[in-house]
Each structure stands twice: as structure tokens, then as C-alpha cells.
Amino acid sequence: MAGPLTGIRVLDLSRVLAGPFCTMILCDLGAEVIKVERPEIGDIARGNGPFIDGISSYFFSINRGKKSLTLDLASPRGKSIFLQLVKHFDILVENFVPGTMEKLGLSYPKVADVNPRIIYASCSGYGQTGPYAHKPAFDVVVQGMGGIMSITGEPVGPPIRPGISIGDIAAGLFTAIGILAALHERSMSGKGQIIDVGMLDCQVAIQENAFARYFATGEVPGPLGTRHPVTTPFQAFETKDGYIVVALVGGERNQWALFCSALGCIDLIDDPRFQTSWDRTVHYDELIPILTRAFKGKTTEEWVGELEEVNVPCGPVNTIDKVAQDPQVLVRNMIVEIPYPQVGEVKVTNTPIKLSRSQCQVSKPAPELGEHAQEVLRNLLGLTQQEIEGLRKDRVI
């Protein structure tokens, strides 16, 4: 079974995370992704630990399935090879600081001149325009500047970074969406175009609700621990042996009564302060201490059992090891073992996109630096063994 993007070729100049996360998604969906890396050095993510027998787990995880071609884009021969390659590709992805592709002589007009159908995706810290455009940026900087650290943490406490590189991940996801939307547009117009995604912009977009609340009330949203800003109870509680999350929303008949009964708090059922989710949000400080006391009386597993019986959405707060063993996660094939020479098998997380007629699946390991140089240059450009050796000797590849 082919992937939905089988036949689509991606020329991937991106490094570290936002760009590679985007092209990983395209690769899992069946696109052929050729990662262009600096000779000898490669993507600096290859140096990020922890390592498995010398292999960067960081690099492996997000570059599985891609091919690697080393190419010195600063050299005239490297540039010339690149512009010949471009003819064979549908998509180009880069996440340099804006201006870099121009300096390399590989700006969109140059590339489009060779291949007007190419979709040229630039993902950067702040986007290609505006006063910060040329500043370098990394995940944590964008998380700080974008506001998410100010709304994550304890109500009274320092800013907290969500435990993932959401600055990069969000930008990678939006870039993939932009690319696929442009691919659809190309199927109508026959033309490619530029995609300009800024990580800071993506932070604003994923915080739409924090901004909506701020615009509606003028109050600056702050960190809320585990709770939701407008729905109550919708948060974690400590139990006898860990934490449980519960999520009551409006609209479910008798849910509040059943929840209170299960907790042994029947006097809350008809309490006028707590009848709707919004009432409970308004009277949050009165309600939560009562629930907090109640939840401490049993284990997480006991509470999950009892609350599920009355259909209250809930679950344990799992650590990563527990998630990796969760029967649902395993049945959904979300953890994949990839055979890798010398090491045996390397485990990575799978794509969460499941299609009925097309295959979306992690298939191959991450490439060694330059592993596919010969294959790509021979198959796409018809270079001979001797020409390839010459390029290698001169450090062009």
C-alpha cells in the first residue's frame, strides 16, 4: 500500500527540529525526502545526545526514513548540482535564518527559474518579514517571547516551559499544512509558491484561546497549574498514590450529580454555587479544596474505575514509561521498532495519521551522513561513479 504522498519529492535543507519535524511528517506520509547536509558535519542535531551506540537518538527520531545527500552549497559545483537537482523535486524546505538562501544564491526566484512548480517552504524563528526577521531564534526563545511560558506553571511561581519543543513542533506542523495546501493549489494552477512560516506566529496561533480571553476581558492570562481557564473541574488531583485528571464539561445529563456521588460529596450535588461548569469556575476557590481532600482518599486506579463507571472522563497522569506500555498506545501502533545495523532495533514514535486506503508508517532508519549521495546523484542526475568520486575527493559532497 502506497502512502498518500508517494511520488512527491522533498529537497530538505532544514536542520535540528522545526524543518526536520515537518519533513518527517511528509516522509511518514510517503514522500521521498532527500536531506541535504554539509559535508563532514551534517545536521548539527547529529551531535545531540543521548546516544545509542554512537547514534544520536535525537537525530534518529525525527529523520527516520529520510535519505542523506552531502552537498557543499557554498561551492560553485555544489550550487550547480543543487540547481540541477531542484528540477526533480516538488517541495523544498529550509529553516535557515532569513537571508541565508539569498546569500547562497538559492533564493526563490533562482530556484523557481529552474522549476516554477516547486513549493518553496521557509520556516524561521520570526518569519521572512518584520523587525525581528533576521534575528536567530531557537525554540525556548520563541516559547518565551510568544507567551506560552507565562501561562504555564503554578498560579504563583516562575514561568515554566511546556516539556516539549512546542516552538519548533508547532511550526513544523503548520509548515506541513502550508505545503500540502500549496500542493493542492498547484494541482489547479500548475504553479508553485513560497510558504513563509514564523515560529513566533505559530505560538500566537496555538494560544488562540489565551488571546481570545485577553481580548474579551483585558485581563492578562496567568499560569493555572493543571486547570482549564473556563471549565471546572477540568484538571489533575493528587490521589493516594499519584495523580488523576478529570474533565467535567457542560451538557452531560446528571454528570455533576454522579461525579459528586462517586466522590462521596453528595452535599455538593444541589449546591447552587456549583451547578454549571461556569458556576464552578466562578466559585473555583470554594470547590477545589473540597475535591482535593476527597481525591486523596483512594488510589488513582480506584478512582479511575469508579468514575469511569459513571461515565466521567478521567485518566491517570502517566509518566513516559507508562505511556510507552499503554495498551491503547500499543494497539494503535504508536511505538515502532526500526531494524538498524549493528544496534539491533531503535524505537521511535509513529505518525498519528491513519488513513484507510493509504499507508502512513515509519519504515526506515535515519540515514548516515551522505549515505544516499551516490543513489541520488546517479539516479536523478545520471552522474557516473567516477564523477561522484571526484566530487567526494574535492569535498563538494
**Residues 241-270 interacting with a second copy (rule: CB under 8 A):** 243-247, 249-251
Q: Which of 274, 272, 145 is nearest to 201 (CA)?
A: 145
Among residues 84, 100, 107, 350, which is the contact residue for a second copy, using CB under 8 A?
Answer: 350
| Residue 249: Cβ within 10 Å count | 12
Q: Does 346 contact a second copy by CB under 8 A?
A: yes
Question: Smallest distance, Å, CB 73 to a second copy?
Answer: 16
Distance, C-alpha 293 to centroid of its chain: 37
The one catalytic residue in 168, 196, 201, 394 is: 168
Q: CB of 233 within 8 A of CB of 313? A: no
Stretches 214-222, 259-267, 369-377, 385-393: which one binds a second copy (CB under 8 A)?
A: 214-222
**Residues 119-148 interacting with a second copy (rule: CB under 8 A):** 125-127, 129-132, 135-148
Instruction: State the DSSP code for 396.
Output: -
Q: CB of 237 within 8 A of CB of 248? A: no
CA 92/CA 70 separation, integer angstroms = 16
Question: Smallest distance, Å, CB 88 to a second copy?
Answer: 18
Pairing, β 314-316 against β 243-247: antiparallel
Binding mask 150-179 for a second copy (x = CB under 8 A): xxxxx--xxxxxxxxxx--xxx-xx-xxx-
- To the query of whether residue 168 is one of the catalytic residues in this protein, the response is yes
Nearer to a second copy among residue 142 and residue 391 (C-beta)? 142
CA distances from residue 170 to 86, 119, 334 in whole angstroms, order as listed: 27, 20, 20
Handedness of CA 374, 78, 118, 359 (dihedral sign): positive
Binding mask 177-196 for a second copy (x = CB under 8 A): xx-xxxxxx-xxx-x-xxxx
**Residues 48-87 interacting with a second copy (rule: CB under 8 A):** 48-52, 57-58, 60-62
Residue type, 382: G
Distance, C-alpha 329 to centroid of its chain: 18
Q: Which of 223, 225, 246 is nearest to 234 (CA)?
A: 246
Binding mask 217-236 for a second copy (x = CB under 8 A): x--xxxxxxxxx-xx--xxx
Question: Smallest distance, Å, CB 24 to a second copy?
Answer: 8
CA 87/CA 114 separation, integer angstroms = 6
Q: CB of 49 within 8 A of CB of 72? A: no
- DSSP symbols for 149-184: GGGSS-SSS-----SS-HHHHHHHHHHHHHHHHHHH
**Residues 351-370 interacting with a second copy (rule: CB under 8 A):** 351-358, 360
**Residues 15-34 interacting with a second copy (rule: CB under 8 A):** 16, 21, 25, 29
Nearer to a second copy among residue 289 and residue 352 (C-beta)? 352
Nearer to a second copy among residue 210 and residue 376 (C-beta)? 210
Nearer to a second copy among residue 327 and residue 382 (C-beta)? 327
Nearer to a second copy among residue 71 and residue 173 (C-beta)? 173
Among residues 273, 278, 344, 379, which is the contact residue for a second copy, using CB under 8 A?
Answer: 278
Nearer to a second copy among residue 284 and residue 392 (C-beta)? 284
Active site residues: 168
